[in-house]
Amino acid sequence: MLTVHHLNNSRSQRILWLLEELGLPYEIKRYQRDPSTMLAPKELKAIHPLGKSPLLTDDTANGRLTIAESGAIIEYLLDTYGNGRLAPARGSAEFLRYRFWLHYAEGSIMPLLVMKLVVGSVAKRAPWLVRPVAKGVVDGINKAFLGPQLKLHLSFIEAELGKNSWFAGEELTAADVQMSFPLEAASVRAGGAAMPNIDAFVKRIRARPAYQRALEKGGKFELGS
Ligand SMILES: N[C@@H](CCC(=O)N[C@@H](CS)C(=O)NCC(=O)O)C(=O)O
């Protein structure tokens, strides 16, 4: 039996979506973020030492497997239960693109989006006396590094999505599932920048029945700003 250890408003939402696309039976064990720190509760560390979500456990005939890291969970699910679905054939041009986006989501774009969120919260959390200084530092980091880097990456994604309907080509793959979380976050945090292909991608995934079923099962999903 597959169990998704699901933290509210988190990357584990996309694992629920993948499972719904695959039509696999699974259970959800729910965990709530601490509202002040936004960190996961300590119960998740009992499942895996990092205590992050998503975590997948699979109770097999040979015992329980515990898998962390979205990309590794996606590959495990497709290798074990996919029967060739949601991944292009190895050796094809689509497969190269598929593997690129599968890694890119957590390796390149998510760190920038998380940095933006953390840096943005610094000025708000600073004691009021030093708040103007903190704000100056934050503005400097945004101007010199985060702003240009995010622009570079989002323009690249925007251009790539102009070439095909989905990240690997004309078929939906698990690379789209993996990219859904950063693009949901980016479409909220872009601050009104024009990204029509990214916006259309987000609309397209939200229209899928499997995505909607995953939302119903996962509960409230709001990435905030
Ligand atoms: N690269 C990891 C990131 C896991 C991660 O940081 N998950 C966040 C939720 S989106 C989390 O568990 N945050 C709570 C915490 O760090 O305590 C993955 O894709 O699985």
pLDDT per residue as tens, the chain (225 positions): 999 999 999 999 999 999 999 999 999 999 999 998 899 999 999 999 999 999 999 999 999 999 999 999 999 999 999 999 999 999 999 999 999 999 999 999 999 999 999 999 988 889 999 999 999 999 999 999 999 999 999 999 999 999 999 999 999 999 999 999 999 988 776 555 689 999 999 999 999 999 999 999 998 888 754
- Work out which ligand 1 atom sits closest to the CA atom of 69: 20
Provide the pairing of β-strand 26-31 with 63-68: unpaired
Cα–Cα–Cα angle for 168, 170, 172, nearest 5°?
Answer: 65
pLDDT at 193: 66
Q: Which domains does the chain have, with CATH numbers?
A: 2-87+212-218 (3.40.30.10), 93-208 (1.20.1050.10)
Q: Does the pTM exceed 0.85?
A: yes
CA proximity to 105, closest of 63, 80, 65, 73: 73
Provide the pairing of β-strand 2-7 with 63-68: unpaired
Mutating to test ligand 1, I would choose from 53, 74, 101, 115 the residue with most ligand atoms within 8 A of its C-beta, which is 53
Residues 6+ apart with CB under 8 A from 5: 12, 29, 31, 44, 47, 53, 54, 55, 56, 57
Provide the pairing of β-strand 26-31 with 2-7: parallel
